[in-house]
Chain A
Amino acid sequence: MSVLVYTENWDGKFKKLSYELVSYAHAIAGMLNTETVAVSIGDVSDTELTALGKYGASRVLSVRDARLNQLVNQAYASVLYQAAVRENAQVVVMANNFTGKAIAPRLAVKLKAGVGAGIAGLPVTVEPFAIHKKAFNGKAFATIVIKTPVRILTLLQNSFGLKENGGVAAVEAFIPDLTDHDFKTSVEEVSKVTGKILLTDAEVVVSGGRGMKGPENWAPIEELARELGAATACSRPVSDEGWRPHEEHTGQTGKIIAPNLYMAFGISGAIQHLAGVSSSKCIVAVNKDPDAPIFEAADYGIVGDAMKVLPEMIAAVKEMKGE
């Protein structure tokens, strides 16, 4: 028996998300009284792999296969399926990110496993396996019961945090059986974002709306984001107008995010926008209109011109950091 956790790497390195997933898997393993086994796909050093032990993994299955250098949904699901069978997994944990959403459903069918998607906390009970998840774009929470012997959980980033347990993981090479049938899609071109905090990773997000008036006014949004180690985002009209790339659009049909802090400048807060950000732990709104719906969702607010408030905020953040 085990709790299996898929730890994705980025150019051979793990990041906070990977450790958070292991911490979470280990907490569930504690509830089930079993061990935590991580699966790593790609060229990751042994030092990096053994460090997963710090967060509770007792073993790491390391898969190195050049064909897996790019995400191929079928092949990745097949690797995890074989690992889950070998380790007799009761629960498989992965991130609720693009990769997790690509693999989890295929794996679920292979294992005939019920899925809890976008989970933010530990199960309420493990017998039956009951767990909370959000529904209706954050307008409600549901308690679901997963009735299958194997369950798949995809964890929302930054929802559980890191828990150190101080162990060292044993690394085992794992060679799954893959055929050409698993590799039907081929990647022709990759463009990676470098030197920028990803919106889906970010603990702090600075976002601008139509109240920013035009793309030429985005410099202070970017500067504040840099100062806070934050990612930048925008509302739908902004991406539709082409002021910002579509990848930054948060809200219904765009990205759904749940950072610790979401700062909305010049965003009125239409329900479609709130659907994408309402799970944020803290929302700050700056808007000229005191009746803007964003203030109903916000924890802190300033009624005022975002363009005037932004430079002052940058100065205040710099000052605070200097303390």
Chain B
Amino acid sequence: MKILICMSNVPDTTTKIRFKDGNTALDTTGVQWIINPWDELALTRALQLKEEPGSGVEKVTVITVGLADAEPTIRKALAIGADDAIRINSQATDAYDVARQIAEAVNNEGYDLILCGIESSDYNNSMVGGMISEFLDIPSVSSVSSVTVDSGRFKIKREIDGGKETLSVTAPFLAVVQKGIALEPRIPSMRGIMMARTKPLKVIEPVTSEVLVEHIRYELPPSKAKCRMVAEDNVRELVQLLHTEAKVI
């Protein structure tokens, strides 16, 4: 059984976001790139499944759409424990294009389970996973907080609006995963880092790009008014302010 993790290369959460070219593009100067946190949890869970005796998982592959500058992040995923990686040599644009590039690359490659993080921490769309499953015409399960496998059949727990459900799904399928699938991302070991250097990283060329949504301009949010402080012994005043001034209770 083979698992594929779709991985996005995003600015570190603590990055100060700045724009350039008249606020039309992200200024990447000094930006630290990381594996999208939800994708990192997906990778962690895939590796746990692979290590489970009898799970039947033989291989965990990561795939990303990005130029050569995405490679350090891919090497990190290999250091964490992925067996190999695929980079589609294209600047990631909108969700549709990214999903299509991945679907084209992995169609007929025999992945039993495809895992995607529930959203990427840069464009916050939550779209790529579901789109890949539609391109591949395979079932998708979203907001997944647990994946277990027993003799080829997957048990999935997902959150719905107002509760939780347990589902049974047969491969191949795609799961869009969120917290719960794993709690802490795995950290690469020294041995992992050494091994990552020689693990296969295949670079493939993209199909002709089709972009449906363009980001034309960015703005920083207006700077926030200073926090209004209320004395510790005057909680009643705060409640009044929330009622009469902020009008939120």
Query: Footprint of B on A, CB under 8 Å?
Result: 8, 10, 70-71, 73-74, 77, 96-99, 101-106, 108-110, 112-118, 130, 133-148, 184-193, 198, 200-201, 204, 228, 240, 246-247, 249, 252-254, 256, 260-261, 271-272, 275, 281-282, 284-285, 295-305, 308-309, 312-313, 316-317, 319-320
Name the distance in Å between A43's Cβ and chain B's nearest Cβ: 16
Instruction: Render B161-199 as a binary contact track against A, CB cut-off 8 A, 1 for contact.
Output: 111111111100100101110011000000000000000
* CB–CB B141/A320 < 8 A: no
**Which residue of chain B has its CB nearest to the CB of A295?**
B227
Complex contact B232–A304 (CB within 8 A): yes
B128 contacts partner chain A, Cβ-Cβ < 8 Å:
yes
- Chain A residues with CB under 8 Å of B131's CB are 105-106, 108-109
Bound: A260/B247 CA distance, A: 9
Q: Which of A105, A137, A299 contacts B99 (CB 8 A)?
A: A105
**The residue from B161, B218, B240 contacting A198, defined by CB atoms under 8 A apart:** B161
Q: Which residues of B contact A112 (CB under 8 A)?
A: 96, 212
Smallest CB separation, A230 vs chain B (Å): 9
Q: List 9 A-B contacts (CB under 8 A).
A: A102-B143, A109-B135, A136-B17, A136-B122, A145-B213, A185-B167, A301-B228, A303-B229, A320-B243
Smallest beta-carbon distance A155→chain B, Å? 13
| A304 contact set on B, CB distance < 8 A | 232
- Whole-angstrom CA separation of A308 from B215 in the bound complex: 47
- Distance in angstroms from B228 CB to nearest chain A CB is 5
Contact A110 B134 (CB under 8 A): yes
Does B145 have its Cβ within 8 Å of any Cβ on chain A?
A: yes
Asked if B229 and A106 sit within 8 Å, CB to CB, the answer is no
**Are A10's CB and B162's CB within 8 A?**
yes
Assuming A147-B213, A147-B214, A308-B232, is B238 touching A313 (CB within 8 A)? yes
Q: Given A187-B165, A188-B166, A188-B168, verify A140-B239 contact (CB < 8 Å).
A: no
Q: Which residues does chain B contribute within 8 Å of A74, judged by CB atoms?
A: 139-140
Partner of B134, one of A105, A185, A187, A285: A105
CA distance A112 to B135 in the complex (A): 11
Question: Cβ of B208: which chain A residues have Cβ within 8 Å of it?
Answer: none
Contact indicator B14/A271 (Cβ below 8 Å): yes
Minimum CB–CB distance from A311 to chain B (whole Å) comes to: 9
- Do B246 and A142 touch (CB < 8 A)? no
The CA-CA distance from A116 to B41 in the complex, in Å, is 26
Are A102's CB and B130's CB within 8 A? yes
Closest chain B CB from A291 CB (angstroms): 12
Contact of B118 among A101, A110, A184, A299 (CB under 8 A): A101
Which of A134, A191, A284 is B163 in contact with, Cβ under 8 Å? A191
Whole-angstrom CA separation of A148 from B140 in the bound complex: 24
Chain B, range 123-166, C-beta contacts under 8 Å to A: 123-131, 133-135, 138-143, 145, 156, 158-166
Q: Determine how close the nearest CB of chain B comes to the CB of A84; give it in whole angstroms.
A: 14
B224: chain A residues within 8 A (beta carbon): 296-297, 299
Could you list 19 further interchain pairs (A-B, Cβ under 8 angstroms) beyond the known A139-B221, A240-B184? A10-B162, A73-B141, A99-B160, A102-B143, A104-B127, A108-B134, A130-B216, A139-B17, A141-B221, A143-B219, A147-B213, A185-B139, A282-B246, A284-B242, A304-B232, A312-B235, A312-B236, A313-B238, A313-B239
B 89-109 to A, binary, CB cutoff 8 A, 1 in contact else 0: 000001110010000000000
